[in-house]
Structure formats: structure tokens, C-alpha cells
């Protein structure tokens, strides 16, 4: 493959975008987002392009997220580089969400964070037996951005809240059952699927239907009732109490996981999802997440989470505040405050 981090070209009426940063599991940086945006804008009104397909080179995964080290280094200063990245990334997410031509995302392997942001807006979202989906941001002091405030609360019941707070990892049987991905296609059939889409570029959904197969039972299904009941509250404290009162092995395991996460991130994330559920447009959600992101990356917990998980890899973050009661409503209000008009996120013109 080319050395370019994103490869774009037109093949058989399909605008092809291939992520090509395999050593970093295609973690997104600003230049990659801008390259994808440029291609999508060029193809939007191009009669030679009937649909878009986004995939990745190599076999390690689709996209592990954003360039977290860069974001943390920027957040340790004035966060200007982090904000510039978020501006470009969120504009790409919104461009894909509103795109007039069908987009197909082949999510083969790991898809987390920023990878979710460039696959969830696609009309056709294909998982394979190698797919592992997660939004693990509460474990590094962040929150599930890139549209998580829009997509997660719109999953069935409270599954999106559970996913966002715990950072749980799902395989294809669960992602398809929840509607995160629209189809399951065996990895060995992907080459044939892509070729088939080239024959019918106007209708990638029909080709995905033709190549799709059953995933088998969804492992999460037996816990859906408990998730909907125990994660339905509007405060993290109430969720903790409900899990403790439930007392089952599963509930206690969820509580133990939550207690390892940043208390600030848990509260930020729950408010983000509850707010996102009430918004009328994806653009409004992205504006909320942009204001929030520029502030959260400068907090102690994000800096400490990146140190513990990504830099030093001791997986022993020291959160501050260390407990939920230390994260006050006033702290949350400050993080969620709207930006001045001249600093607000806006979609591409």
C-alpha cells in the first residue's frame, strides 16, 4: 500500500477511503480527518461517484480511536492543537452523518472512539467475526465523543449508557443485535462483497444483504432487562446504589468495573448522554461535545488517565476527585457551559 495515512480513489463508481496507518491501528490525526473530508466534499456532487466505502489496510483493526498522546500533550498546554483536531474530526463526523450518498463502513477488527465516529454515520455498517467494539473513554478520564452523545442514548433501552459508563467490549453478535452495525459478513467474504458493491454502487445495502449471514446468539441478551432497569437513573450515585442492591454476580461485576473509572468522567458521560438524548440535531450534539472536549482534555483526570493507560501503562490512575461526591454539579456546569459565539463548533459550510 501507499505510505499515505489515508488512501482515496474512485473505483467502479465507488469513492474508496482506506485508512492506512496500521502500526497505530489507524488512530486518527488531524491530517487524516482533513484528507477524508476533502475527498468526501469532492465526491459529494460528482456524478462518477454513486456511493462511498470506507475500510482499512492490514488486519489489526479498523480504527482504535484518535491520537490520544497528541491530545494529552496539547491539553497539558493551551489545548489549541487538540481543539483544532476536534474541530476537523467533528466536522468530518457531521459531514458523514448528513452525506447525500450512501456510505458503507467495513468495521473489521477493533473499532473504538474515533473509529466509531467515522463508522456510525454510515448507512451500511458491516461487522465481521474479528470486530471488537467499545467506547472506553471513562477509563482514561475522557467521555465518548465523536457523536457518542447522539448515537449511544438512541441504542435500545439503556444499553448505550451501560456501554459508555463501563467501556464494555462487544463482538459482532451483540453489535448487530443492538443496531450498532447493520450486517455481519464473514471476513473471508469481504473481498467479494467489495467487488459486488462495485457492480451495484447505487445500492450497497442490497449487496450487504446478499453477503450477510447470521451471527448466532447475542451474549448480552440475558442481561438486557437488568441493564435497562439498573442504568435508567439520572445520577451515577443512583446507578451505583441500584447495582449494589441488585447484588447478583453480574451487577457486582459492573459495579467493580465502574469503580475503576474516573468519577468525573462517569458523571460527565451520563450528563452527556442524557443531554444528547434530548437534542434535535446531530450538529447540536457535536457543538456540545466540542465545548466539552476542549475543557476535559485540560483536566487532571484526562492527563492522569493517558499517563496510566497509554504512556506509563501501569493501569493505576489516581483520579481527582477520587470519589463521586467530589464531582459537584458546579464542576459539571462549568464543563458543559456553552462557548462564546466566536469559539463555537460549526459544521462545514
Residue pair 17/41 in contact by the 8 Å Cβ criterion? no
pLDDT of 2 reads 58
Cβ–Cβ under 8 Å, residues 174 and 134? no
Strands 124-127 and 14-19: unpaired
> Mean pLDDT across the chain, nearest whole number?
96
In a domain, 50, yes or no: yes
When pLDDT is averaged across residues 121-149 and rounded to a whole number, the result is: 97
- The cell numbers describing 276, all together, are 444528547
Percent of the chain with pLDDT over 70: 99
55, 67, 137, 304: the active-site residue: 137
Pairing outcome for strands 61-63 and 14-19: unpaired
Pairing state between β 6-11 and 110-112: unpaired
Grid coordinates representing 289 are 461535545
60 — pLDDT class (breaks 50, 70, 90): confident
Average pLDDT for 25-54: 97
For residue 348, tell me if it sits in a domain: no
Can you list the alpha helix ranges (DSSP code H) found in the chain? 30-44, 68-75, 80-97, 114-117, 148-151, 159-166, 172-178, 190-199, 204-211, 224-230, 236-246, 249-258, 263-276, 282-296, 300-306, 329-336
pLDDT of residue 349: 83
Residue 333 is assigned to a structural domain of this protein: yes
Q: Is residue 23 part of a domain?
A: yes
52 vs 101: CA distance, rounded Å: 7
Q: What is the CATH number of the domain that holds 233?
A: 3.90.226.10
Domain range holding 336? 6-343
Instruction: Tell whether the model's pLDDT for residue 222 goes beyond 90.
Output: yes
Does any domain span residue 1? no
Mean pLDDT of 296-325: 96
pTM: 0.96
Q: How far is CA 348 from CA 34, 139, 155, in A?
A: 12, 31, 27
Q: 221 an active-site residue?
A: no
Candidate list 114, 167, 276, 293, residue with the active-site label: 114
Of the pLDDT bands very low, low, confident and very high (cuts 50, 70, 90), residue 59 is: confident
Query: Could you tell me if 127 and 175 are in contact, meaning their C-beta atoms sit under 8 angstroms apart?
Result: yes
Q: Any catalytic annotation for residue 137? A: yes
Kindly name the residue from 15, 61, 65, 66 that is annotated as catalytic. Answer: 66
On whether residue 47 sits in a domain, the answer given is yes
C-beta atoms surrounding 153 within 10 Å: 21
Give the phi and the psi of residue 122 in degrees, each rounded to 5. -70, 145
Give yes or no for residue 118 having a pLDDT over 80.
Answer: yes
Tell me if 94 sits within 8 A of 282, measured CB to CB. yes
| Distance in angstroms (rounded) separating the CA atoms of residues 117 and 146 | 5
pLDDT higher than 60, residue 1: no
Burial class (CB in 10 A: 0-12, 13-18, 19+), 256: exposed
Q: Is the pLDDT assigned to residue 192 strictly greater than 80?
A: yes
299 falls in which pLDDT band (50, 70, 90)? very high
**Over residues 321-338, mean pLDDT:** 97
Helix/strand number for the chain, H first, E second: 16, 9
Answer yes or no: is 349 within a domain: no
Residue 140 CB partners (closer than 8 Å, separation 6+)? 68, 262, 265, 302, 305, 306, 308, 309, 310, 317
Confidence check: pLDDT of 119 > 80: yes
271: Cα within 13 Å, side-chain hemisphere: 20
| Cα 330 from Cα 312, distance rounded (Å) | 32
Return d(Cα 86, Cα 21) in angstroms, integer.
Answer: 19
Active site residue 238: no
Judge whether 150 lies within some domain: yes
Active site residue 145: yes
- In the predicted structure, residue 6 carries a pLDDT above the cut 80: yes
Average pLDDT over residues 336-344: 96
Average pLDDT estimate for 181-196 = 97
The catalytic position among 108, 145, 289, 304 is: 145
pLDDT at 128 over 60: yes
Let me know: does 60 contact 24? Beta carbons within 8 Å. no
Give phi and psi for 170, each to the nearest 5.
-120, 145
pLDDT tens digits for 9-30? 999 999 999 999 999 999 999 9
Q: How many domains does the chain have?
A: 1
* Ordered strands of the 61-63 beta sheet: 61-63, 110-112, 132-134
Q: What average pLDDT score do residues 62-88 get?
A: 93
Amino acid at each position: 500500500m501507499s505510505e499515505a495515512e489515508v488512501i482515496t480513489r474512485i473505483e467502479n463508481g465507488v469513492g474508496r477511503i482506506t485508512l492506512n496507518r496500521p502500526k497505530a491501528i489507524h488512530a486518527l490525526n488531524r491530517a487524516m480527518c482533513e484528507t477524508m473530508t476533502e475527498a468526501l466534499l469532492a465526491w459529494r456532487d460528482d456524478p462518477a461517484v454513486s456511493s462511498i466505502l470506507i475500510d482499512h489496510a492490514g488486519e489489526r483493526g479498523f480504527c482504535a480511536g484518535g491520537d490520544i498522546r497528541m491530545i494529552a500533550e496539547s491539553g497539558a498546554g493551551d489545548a489549541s492543537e487538540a481543539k483544532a483536531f476536534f474541530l476537523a474530526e467533528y466536522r468530518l463526523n457531521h459531514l458523514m452523518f448528513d452525506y447525500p450518498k450512501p456510505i458503507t463502513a467495513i468495521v473489521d477488527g477493533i473499532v473504538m472512539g474515533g473509529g466509531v465516529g467515522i463508522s456510525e454515520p454510515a448507512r451500511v455498517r458491516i461487522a465481521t467475526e474479528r470486530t471488537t467494539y467499545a467506547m472506553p473513554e471513562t477509563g482514561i478520564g475522557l467521555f465518548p465523543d465523536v457523536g457518542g452523545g447522539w448515537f449511544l442514548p438512541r441504542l435500545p433501552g439503556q444499553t448505550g449508557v451501560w456501554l459508555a459508563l463501563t467501556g464494555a467490549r462487544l463482538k459482532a453478535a451483540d453489535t448487530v443485535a443492538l443496531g450498532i452495525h447493520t450486517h455481519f459478513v464473514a471476513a473471508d467474504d469481504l473481498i467479494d462483497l467489495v467487488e459486488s458493491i462495485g457492480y451495484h454502487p447505487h445500492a450497497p445495502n442490497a449487496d450487504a444483504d446478499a453477503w450477510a449471514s447470521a451471527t448466532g446468539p447475542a451474549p448480552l441478551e440475558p442481561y438486557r432487562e437488568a441493564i435497562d432497569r439498573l442504568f435508567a437513573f439520572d445520577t451515577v450515585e443512583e446507578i451505583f446504589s441500584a447495582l449494589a442492591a441488585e447484588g447478583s454476580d453480574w451487577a457486582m461485576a459492573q459495579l467493580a468495573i465502574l469503580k475503576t473509572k474516573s468519577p468525573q468522567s462517569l458523571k460527565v458521560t451520563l450528563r452527556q448522554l442524557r443531554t444528547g438524548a434530548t437534542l434535535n440535531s446531530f450538529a447540536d450534539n457535536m457543538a456540545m461535545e466540542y465545548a466539552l472536549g476542549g475543557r476535559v482534555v485540560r483536566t487532571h483526570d484526562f492527563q492522569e488517565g493517558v499517563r496510566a493507560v497509554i504512556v506509563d501503562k501501569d493501569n493505576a490512575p489516581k483520579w481527582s476527585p477520587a470519589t463521586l461526591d467530589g464531582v459537584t454539579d458546579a464542576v459539571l456546569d462549568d464543563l458543559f457551559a456553552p462557548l462564546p459565539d466566536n469559539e463555537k463548533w460549526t459544521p462545514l459550510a
